[in-house]
Structure 1
């Protein structure tokens, strides 16, 4: 099986809602098999939206606070499969005492001890445990296995007394905790230990990077590169969260081209509002001179389009005026050896062996650093169009609301044609 996995670094709600509609249609059609949402949000409102919108958490960095994982009742145990080397944290919030929380630490202190403590509701969102008294502590050397997922079972007896078992070994039983009304269960890693919940296999799932990290994207590449055995046969797509148009009808052709041409390291879609693509689009006569002069960015990076909201608006307006018509390049495939913006790219899972990227400029690494080292070209595929809303320099003093609304109308025209006239009339 060669699954198709789309990776998106999320997420700004106002910019990502249109993409969500396109991707869900691609999932429904079977063009994409999995959508991995990497939560690198910076604003609290965006974090809350991503958490509500995109399925259960599969992975969380060591600095990520508790995430909801399930429930436990006397009739139904909580079970999960957790890959973690040490410091598995499980929080229990009784249904009948919502401000009362308990925390079980499994394999703490370098996987030597486990503990139970009472914490406040606020402490679910932080790691501050200074002067926190343990209600219970016990030596549990080697409780967590680093070599396989750890099987976690939290059960309640008929009186509501909890027992926790890890890999068929009893960690503890706590008769002083009455959970007869059931409880919510939350989970996290901590103290340098990332956590992966291996039984979370929803088609759309969240991967939560460590919050407020500068240039955080290396966390995603490292995750896949260290699991190459699981992903070697996959085709990966990676897109920005502000892709506001995606030609669903041509997406599968792009994927098939990627599969059939392994000599390319990465392959880019034909992108609206991408300096290199705009240059080639104009060279092919797809963008008239009246829209602007789109030069070849020096070395494939920067340029007048990249830094100008006005030029981006003109280009978007032209593309929208065509109803999302294709903007062909001079050739069906343009070989490329310079830098390019990675707004929508594809790579093969087998190449993850070269993608354990350091923290830094992932775009340079994927389009210059690694391809130069491997002596492999990249490419731009003409027949698959996407539109990218904005680059950082374009956003200074720019309000893209009108463009987002126009792209929403185009999306409705393409995906929900029966509803589009009503939407336009309402607007």
Structure 2
């Protein structure tokens, strides 16, 4: 059976922890096979949380900073399979020298040369090395292969002397160094070279995009499109990091509908706090007029709900207070030919052939540009409901903390955590003012 892969652009801890509980339940039930967390965080605190919470790193953009990968000791080598064409950077942080680290660059300078540098740990976050003289340098033409994952082995002898080999070839041995105290090992790419670890096969894994991009999401679509052969049989789900309710019992039906209706390009869940869905929900009589008027957003984008904290608040409260957590649409499936928000969508892996998206508006590309070009509509599936916390314009005036606490209680009830105490994270959030 084709694997089901959930992709989430992470991640704001305060908004994402509820989603994490739902997804882990769906994975425990075998509904979702893999969860790919793309780290597009904007704060150091959120980045640290995503790094701690979501398993090993699988992929790093060429501008992504060092990520912890493992350790090396006299009794255990550091080993990995690294797919990279040039400039593999390995940072070794000896336990007995907290002020410095050693940087091994393999296949630098267009895969011609390798060096070792001793640097202050403050340089771990920087790519600048112009004024640094290497402590070792060697010509290593063709040390890295672009065609296969490179077998990297770093070991220490009994005296702590390090030696590195790549693809069975000795890169260097450094008898002047003593790392017998053991050391952490970090890795990154650089200089146009992305880095992927084919030995990372955990069901939940991290993908670290290039930081500080205004619209970074194209990096994820580009990654999958370039690996079409690996993912062509998969069913992809993509959800926002602030999905705060997910009907786990109906998720498998949604996936099966996606799998068996290939003529739709993307299919959306029935989303609470989504302009198009709210319009359709009210048209079907699922949202009373007393909650507010939810018009057809012009062209499927924007509209009064998207802009209004008050409207979002009333809609969330109506949903939270309803016994039946379902707001049916006019029909079981609504075919749609305008833009729509992509808070929770699904596509087929075979359609990655069309999804090498340029940098820009991924939502417009997936719901307008590509469906128009391919002559394939999108759709909204009525019987699978999720709730989306907020759009950017709604942030001005929305009581996010109140809603998060309410949805947390709903999640604990739905996942049978209702007899457990409230999560310690809520107490931490209150204490820290987050």
Q: TM-score range by the shorter chain?
A: over 0.9
Residue of structure 1 equivalent to 2:85: 85
Over the aligned positions, Cα root-mean-square deviation in angstroms equals 1.4
Residue of structure 2 equivalent to 1:210: 210
Quick check: 1:9–1:39 contact (8 Å CA) kept in 2?
A: yes
SS in structure 2 opposite 1:236? Answer: strand
Shift in Å, 1:423:
4.8
Residue of structure 2 equivalent to 1:132: 132
| Partner Cα separation in structure 1 for residue 325 and residue 135 of structure 2 | 66
SS in structure 2 opposite 1:127? Answer: coil
Aligned pairs for 1:347-366 (under 5 A) are 347-366=347-366
SS in structure 2 opposite 1:351? Answer: helix
| Partner Cα separation in structure 2 for residue 385 and residue 72 of structure 1 | 47
Per the normalisation by structure 1, the TM-score is 0.97
Instruction: Describe the superposition over 1:234-293 as per-residue Cα deviations: whole angstroms up to 9, x where unpaired.
Output: 000000000000000000000000001111100000000001101111111111111111
| Partner Cα separation in structure 2 for residue 417 and residue 115 of structure 1 | 53
| Partner Cα separation in structure 2 for residue 303 and residue 214 of structure 1 | 23
Residue of structure 1 equivalent to 2:309: 309
SS in structure 2 opposite 1:16? Answer: helix
Shift in Å, 1:416:
2.2
Per the normalisation by structure 2, the TM-score is 0.96
The answer to whether 1:144 aligns with 2:151 is no
How many residue pairs end up in the alignment?
Answer: 425
**Mind listing any 5+ residue stretches in structure 2 that lack a counterpart?**
428-434
Distance 1:108 1:417, change over 3 A: closer
| Partner Cα separation in structure 2 for residue 226 and residue 33 of structure 1 | 21
Residue of structure 1 equivalent to 2:241: 241
Residue of structure 2 equivalent to 1:283: 283
| Partner Cα separation in structure 1 for residue 14 and residue 33 of structure 2 | 25
Residue of structure 1 equivalent to 2:230: 230
Residue of structure 1 equivalent to 2:409: 409
Shift in Å, 1:398:
2.9
Shift in Å, 1:397:
3.6
Quick check: 2:313–2:398 contact (8 Å CA) kept in 1?
A: no
Aligned pairs for 1:9-408 (under 5 A) are 9-323=9-323, 325-408=325-408
| Partner Cα separation in structure 1 for residue 64 and residue 407 of structure 2 | 34
**Mind listing any 5+ residue stretches in structure 1 that lack a counterpart?**
none
| Partner Cα separation in structure 2 for residue 233 and residue 340 of structure 1 | 26
SS in structure 1 opposite 2:23? Answer: helix
Instruction: Describe the superposition over 1:70-120 as per-residue Cα deviations: whole angstroms up to 9, x where unpaired.
Output: 011111111001011100000111122222310100000000000011011
